[in-house]
Amino acid sequence: MQQAPRAIIHVDMDAFYASVEELDDPSLVGKPVIVAGLGRRGVVSTCNYVARTYGVRSAMPTSEARRRCPDGVYIFPRHARYAEISEIVFSVFGEVTPMIEGLSLDEAFLDVTASLRLFASIEAIGRRVKESIRERTGLNASVGMAHNKLLAKLASELSKPDGFLHIHPGEVQGYLDPLPIGRMWTVGKVAEESLHKVGIRTIGDLIRADAWRLNKAVGERHAAQLRQLCLGEDRRAVVTDAPEVSIGSEWTFDIDVDELPIAEAWLLRQCERVGARARSRGVDARTVSVKLREPPFVTHSRQAQLPVPGNATPDIYAVARRLLQVWWNQHPRPRLRLLGVTLSGFDARHSDEQQDMFAAPVSEKRSDGVQDRINERFGAGALVRAGVLKTRGSE
């Protein structure tokens, strides 16, 4: 007995960060809005569609964006505000299905197969999601619908901005064949160049290509997978409650840091950020990693285990600081362009679990809870440890 096709929806908010800024300040509507790091080495997080007409795009250095769009409105990201809107968006998802795979604050897959009886059709569900987001946030979402994740995401991308598109099984090749091969999932720059060399420039070209040419370009294993994808076949399931692999925070300095106390202050700041995020998610980390980048682009990574899995900022900082100091002392003239901290190896915390007798008493960690509550109420950075104050004024 053949299994009924799945009903998958991909939702992607349009220019999310920039749209939130326009929502909070309507005077920005119609102007090129660029949300980015504003320092000398800042990078664009996102921009609205007006800014994109100037050639500005995500991940572009802010300095390049300013050259292309000197009259743009440049805004430093407000992550707490974006997370607030994101919670509203995801609450809409939860009203139509529990099968939600969040990809970021503004993007998710929904498996609504089991919801079809209640809502009649995938289009009805998609329309409800789109309209509810608009009513509750004032923002536009692009909604793509199909029988698998690959095609649902393609549908939202092709219909942006403010999109709404359902790719039916009989329409797959009509949408796929004309697209550049670089648009296909798993095809990066290197693979794209290799395929171009053997005359494969579109998805349709790949489907019609003989096995020898395709194997020569990308290898036999990747070729078989790629041919399936180009035929619109994708068996990936929507994965709910996917465990977080890592929590990281990093900072690129406008001026290279060559003093250890200043580096330690920035390190503490990143430890506060990742610790707060781990506590908000109720997870304990086993591993602390420190990322160190020397100018211009020489990157080092060091990691060590916490004595006991946890998320307290002092414990994270103690391990991270030791890693930084060891690296610093190994270099005759240490200088840092970038410094970051990442937590990984998570254990979910449960209230009925037996507590480790060697873990720090709750009273010793209470300051983290106070700091988290104050920052949640008044904004990130409202309360910081004294050691972080050396970083103020240099953002």
pLDDT digit string, tens, across residues 19-50: 999 999 999 999 999 999 888 888 899 999 99
pLDDT in tens, 125-148: 999 999 999 999 999 999 999 999
Would the pLDDT of 272 be above 50?
yes
The pLDDT score that the predictor gives to residue 242 is 63
pLDDT in tens, 297-320: 788 999 999 999 999 999 999 999
The predicted model gives 263-281 an average pLDDT of: 91
The pLDDT score that the predictor gives to residue 348 is 55
SS3 string, 92-112, reads: HHHCCCCCEEEEECCEEEEEC
The pLDDT score that the predictor gives to residue 217 is 87
Question: How many Å apart are CA 352 and CA 34, to the nearest integer?
Answer: 46
Q: Which of 60-69, 143-152, 227-236, 384-393 has the lowest mean pLDDT?
A: 384-393
73 in Cβ contact with 66 (< 8 Å): no
Which amino acid belongs to residue 24? D
The predicted model gives 183-205 an average pLDDT of: 90
The pLDDT score that the predictor gives to residue 191 is 87
Residues paired with residue 166 on neighbouring β-strands, in sequence order: 145
The pLDDT score that the predictor gives to residue 108 is 94
Would the pLDDT of 90 be above 70?
yes
Q: Where are the alpha helices (DSSP H) in the chain?
A: 16-24, 49-52, 62-68, 79-94, 116-119, 122-137, 149-159, 172-176, 189-197, 203-208, 211-218, 220-230, 260-281, 313-329, 362-378
CA nearest to 278, candidates 326, 320, 313 = 313
Would the pLDDT of 277 be above 50?
yes
The predicted model gives 242-269 an average pLDDT of: 87
Catalytic residues: 107
The pLDDT score that the predictor gives to residue 380 is 42
Whether the upstream peptide bond of residue 161 has omega within 30° of 0, thus cis, is yes
CA nearest to 116, candidates 97, 103, 102 = 97
Pick left, alpha or beta for residue 8 (phi over 0 → left; psi -120 to 50 → alpha; otherwise beta): beta
* Domains observed in the chain: 1-151 (3.30.70.270), 173-230 (1.10.150.20), 246-391 (3.30.1490.100)
pLDDT in tens, 343-359: 988 865 543 344 443 34
The pLDDT score that the predictor gives to residue 298 is 86
Q: How far apart are the first and last CA of the chain?
A: 61
Would the pLDDT of 76 be above 80?
yes
Residues paired with residue 339 on neighbouring β-strands, in sequence order: 251, 292
The predicted model gives 99-125 an average pLDDT of: 93
Would the pLDDT of 75 be above 70?
yes
Residues contributing to the annotated binding site for Mg(2+): 12, 106
CA nearest to 342, candidates 364, 319, 362, 359 = 319
Question: How many Å apart are CA 390 and CA 374, to the nearest integer?
Answer: 20
The C-alpha torsion from 55 through 56 and 57 to 61, rounded to 10°, is: 130
175 in Cβ contact with 203 (< 8 Å): no
Would you list the DSSP string of 283-336?
A: EEEEEEEEEEEETTTEEEEEEEEEEEEE--HHHHHHHHHHHHHHHHHT-SS--E
33 in Cβ contact with 179 (< 8 Å): no
pLDDT in tens, 160-178: 999 999 999 999 999 999 9
195 in Cβ contact with 157 (< 8 Å): no
Question: How many Å apart are CA 290 and CA 271, to the nearest integer?
Answer: 10
In the chain, what percentage of residues exceed pLDDT 90? 64
The pLDDT score that the predictor gives to residue 374 is 46
The pLDDT score that the predictor gives to residue 370 is 53
Q: Write down the mean pLDDT value for the chain.
A: 86
The pLDDT score that the predictor gives to residue 246 is 80
pLDDT in tens, 364-393: 444 565 555 544 544 444 444 455 545 544
Would the pLDDT of 252 be above 90?
no
